[in-house]
Amino acid sequence: MLIGVDYHPSFQQIAFLVEETGEYSERRLNHSDGEVEKFYRDLKLRGVQVQVGMEATGYSRWFERLLAELDFEVWIGDPAEIQARRVKKQKTDRKDAQLLLKLMVEDRGDHTPQELADATNALVTAANKDPSFGGVYTLYNSGAPSLYVDIDREKAEKIGLTPTDVFSTLQLYLGSAYVNDFNYLNRTYQVVVQADEPFRKNQEDIARLKVRNASGEMVPIGTVASFKYQTTPYRQPRYNLYPASDVLGAAGPGVSSGTAMNRMEEIARQALPPGFEIEWTELSHQQKEQGIPTLVIFAASAIFVFLVLAAQYESWKLPLAIVLIVPMCLLASATGLSLRGMPIDILAQIGFVVLLGLAAKNAILIVEFARQKQDHDGDTAEEAATSAAKTRLRPILMTSFAFILGVFPLAIATGAGAEMRQSLGTAVFSGMLGVTIFGLLFTPAFYTYIRRKRREEIPRSAAIDRSAAEGIPRGAAGAPWESPS
């Protein structure tokens, strides 16, 4: 059983929300007659856990001392702050949590706040059962005790009152109203009117507050209004003009934020009743509404590298010996992230783009030297590629390991923002290891294959051009002949 406690200075009462077997009941006690202490001691004997939410007043200090004596876990403060501190403690205990997500559950069907709270809790419960999330919670609560004033508008009209008159009186006495300023001793002070605390403590005091009617008579508010206690949200957020509740969470270990968001949308379609919808907000909204997909950016980067190399070598095939190593370095990078249980997030994707250039740099060192050996020295493709790999081995290892050791601190970063640095560092670190190993092994093989295919095509095309220049018909002596199939 769990006891939720909320203290209200305006009523001088303590509201207890008791949960037993999934059902809630409420009990109110006055703080001054000893009932609270007796009630708490009874709870202690029954082994009940108590969590307290109250405003930071002198009474909250008294509650804190009382519950400390009874060995209860105490949470003091505004209900929103209490929930935030509890969530922060849970997140501290869960070191797996990462990649914060935030969405709003919108009430688009004119439901009550309690129905909105039930729908939100159903979504949170369903999401916490899914391994894609490391913890989902909501700060929305419709159980804050409040006093509801129901105005009999017909009766008010008969005695010369309007609802505006009643509302203005309640605002003036229970809230406050600014009148003007006055100067005293060279300082400016505000004049604010409000009913004194002894005259607005409870329901009977509020009913005795008077409002002037159209005839100039003072009419007690209790004449035209009835009062009842009920629970309402301590705050009611709105999103896109709809009543809404906020839901926060984190992707599970090894799950990217995009995957977690897609999974949350599927859960929302199943868990939310009709009339409720979700919308992403803050950074989650920006991620969902990104203009250009990451795959398009990466593909454009690869094409740009290929076109630059094609212009440099004046060939469409030779750049393939360089670009073909890119998928292997991406495989190595993704493997490193997977071994550390990290998702492929936006920082890892930035690392992929960096690896594209680094992989091309190492391959260029081999391909350029091999091309020169083959064109100038007359070596075969195999001899040129082998010689280039041996000659450029030391420069490749020096530059590669200098970069690998440079990004290693990112991979083991600690402190604030460490998860972002670790993601980028791990992607680049493991990718560069793959570039160094696979590049030395496969770049010569890719070069040999592409240049061998080119060598096979050159004699055939040269013979065709020579035959056309001499006017020899196809199939004649010395001309290339294709046997009919």
Q: Give the domains, in start order, of the chain with CATH numbers.
A: 1-77 (3.30.420.40), 80-139+236-290 (3.30.70.1440), 145-232 (3.30.2090.10), 294-461 (1.20.1640.10)
Radius of gyration of the chain (CA): 37
Do the beta carbons of residue 7 and residue 55 sit within 8 Å? yes
Least Cα distance to 173 among 147, 201, 145 occurs for 201
The pLDDT value recorded for residue 246 is: 92
**Which amino acid is present at 178?**
Y
**Which amino acid is present at 42?**
D
Q: How far is residue 436 from each of residues 248, 396, 443, measured CA to CA in Å?
A: 42, 8, 10
Tokens representing 235 are: 């705050």
CA–CA distance, 52 with 330 (Å, rounded to integer):
52
Q: How far is residue 235 from each of residues 104, 125, 146, measured CA to CA in Å?
A: 14, 22, 12
CA–CA distance, 293 with 296 (Å, rounded to integer):
5
The pLDDT value recorded for residue 190 is: 92
The pLDDT value recorded for residue 264 is: 92
Q: Is 33 helix (H, G, I), strand (E, B) or coil?
A: coil
Do the beta carbons of residue 31 and residue 9 sit within 8 Å? no
CA–CA distance, 457 with 460 (Å, rounded to integer):
6
CA–CA distance, 351 with 388 (Å, rounded to integer):
28
Do the beta carbons of residue 313 and residue 292 sit within 8 Å? no
Per-residue pLDDT tens listing for the chain (485 residues): 334 444 444 444 444 444 444 443 444 445 454 555 566 566 555 554 444 444 333 444 445 554 554 444 444 444 445 455 555 444 444 444 455 789 999 999 889 988 999 999 999 999 998 888 888 888 888 888 888 889 999 999 888 998 888 999 999 998 888 999 999 999 999 999 998 888 888 888 889 999 999 888 999 999 999 988 888 888 889 999 999 999 998 888 778 788 888 899 999 999 999 999 999 998 888 878 765 667 787 788 888 888 888 888 888 888 888 888 888 888 888 899 888 888 887 888 888 888 888 888 888 888 888 888 888 877 788 888 888 888 888 888 888 888 889 989 888 888 877 888 888 889 999 999 988 888 888 888 888 888 876 655 555 444 445 444 455 454 444 444 443 33
* Enclosing H/E stretch for 93: helix 79-93
Tokens representing 324 are: 């073909």
Do the beta carbons of residue 323 and residue 426 sit within 8 Å? no
346: left (phi over 0), alpha (psi -120 to 50) or beta: alpha
Torsion of CA 259, 264, 267, 272, to 10 degrees: -160
From the CB of residue 481, how many other CB atoms can be counted at a distance below 10 Å?
A: 9
Q: How many whole angstroms from its chain centre is CA 406?
A: 30
Q: Is 15 helix (H, G, I), strand (E, B) or coil?
A: strand
